[in-house]
A = this chain, B = another copy of it.
Amino acid sequence: MSEVTLHEAKEIIAQEIENLARRNKEPEWMTRIRYKGLEAFEKAPHNDPVISKDELLRFIAKPEIEGFPEHIESLDDLPPEMKALLDRLGISEVEQKYIAGLAVQTDTGIIYNQFLQEWAKKGLIVLPMEEAVKKYPDVMKRHFLQMFSPNESKLAAYHTAVWNGGIFLYVKEGLKVPFPLHLFFLIQESALAQAPHIIIIAEPNTEFHLIEGCTAPVLVKHSLHLDMTEAYIRDGARVQLTVLQNWPEYVHTRPMTRARIGKNARFINTTVGLGTGRSNIANPKYWVEENGYVELNGIILGQKDWYVDLGGEMYLQGREAAGINASKAVIMDESTVITRGKIVAEAPRTKGHISCDALVMSDKAVMETYPGLVSRVDDAELSHEAAIGKIHEEELFYLMSRGLSEEKATQLIVKGFLEPMLKDIPMEFLIEIRKIIEMAVSGGM
């Protein structure tokens, strides 16, 4: 394919912007933000090791969602192909009552958010981003694109121009949500740019757990999930964000997540990558205030030729702020997994720790780890540790001597290796996660 000229690129993006603006009937101030993304696209740096600048423009934010209902009342109303898809994330195992708080984005639009009406009165708002822009323009103007600049990369510029879907999640001061909130991203189309924008405002002393599940039918070819999440975790709030990815082979993921964690607040951000996507590159950033705490957990099962590069930068800006970046990876087949946490201590008595453990299961698999620690004060405590290795033969032989087949013994060791990282995953997902791990180790995906 010949190179896309600058003029052509601008034409492509402008057309997408016009289509989305028309579909969303969005206010002009938002369309102006999109055009800032278009302008930034030209000069913004692009150093993605997998997706070239031209290839990026082949992922289109198609505004149509055909054949799907706009709103549904329960999972039973979903079309059968979507229900089958949710199987890949373990949803079929789940009783309906567990997934009361559910929104589903298929391709570029949120189709299901008619839930939690009684919780809205208590101060829990979950709205598709397109609706939030119209309903709460002042809040959105103060929080949309405050932690990112479209100039920082072509990916950020492209997201800004063509963002679609995503949610606005607002939790009123002091409100504690006792059940997990679910948000599912499904890609049904090939050559799609699914670019949800998510804004989370956790007012002081709130508590909740948002679980995102991502998948697509195995027939989807070369689509891109390019989300951007801005999380405002105010003083004393305790928030968990768990992302389960089970993309098929050809899907690229470029999640962009940033969070400001207030005084005495806690934010636990966990990613479980189980799929055989084409590539996943992420570098979330967190700014942590006095006595705040952030935890970034990564659990990666690298299969086929999945290319995974997970960063994670933590800026401990307030006294006694703390951060932990922990990852465990099992790397099989021809997969490449790279982890690069970084913790910067900028205030007194801050603490940070990075750990990375990896099991390399194939001589064509590649594991790389590059943690970074930066201390700019004289009384921070920063540490890291890592271990890359293989399954110890003695352990395998021991289990086999107890009557297990090599396959079962290997499954057991791999599950035992990953298990400690899954402590915060709700039970209904754990069942499916364990099943996926077993199948992967048996070469059965």
Contacts and interface: CB of A to CB of B under 8 A. Distances in A.
Interface string A365-381: 11111111111111111
B375 A367 contact: yes
B377 A388 contact: no
A360 interface: yes
Contacts of A373: 367-370, 386, 388
A390 interface: yes
A363 interface: yes
Contacts of A84: none
Interface residues of A, number: 33
Nearest to A386: B384
A390 B378 contact: yes
- The A interface is mostly helix, strand or loop, or mixed, namely strand
A370 B372 contact: yes
Contacts of A382: 386-389
A362 interface: yes
B378 A361 contact: yes
B358 A375 contact: yes
Contacts of A390: 378-381
B370 A371 contact: yes
A405 interface: no
Interface string A217-237: 000000000000000000000
A385 interface: yes
Interface in A380-407: 380-390
B389 A381 contact: yes
B386 A376 contact: no
A406 B370 CA distance: 38
Contacts of A378: 360-363, 365, 390
A389 B345 CA distance: 11
Nearest to A371: B371
A320 B357 CA distance: 21
Given A375-B366, A378-B360, A386 B383 contact: yes
Interface in A303-339: none
Most buried by B among A375, A377, A379, A382: A375
Closest CB pairs A-B (n = 3): A382-B388, A363-B378, A383-B387
Given A369-B371, A375-B388, A381-B388, 4 more contacts: A361-B378, A367-B373, A367-B374, A379-B389
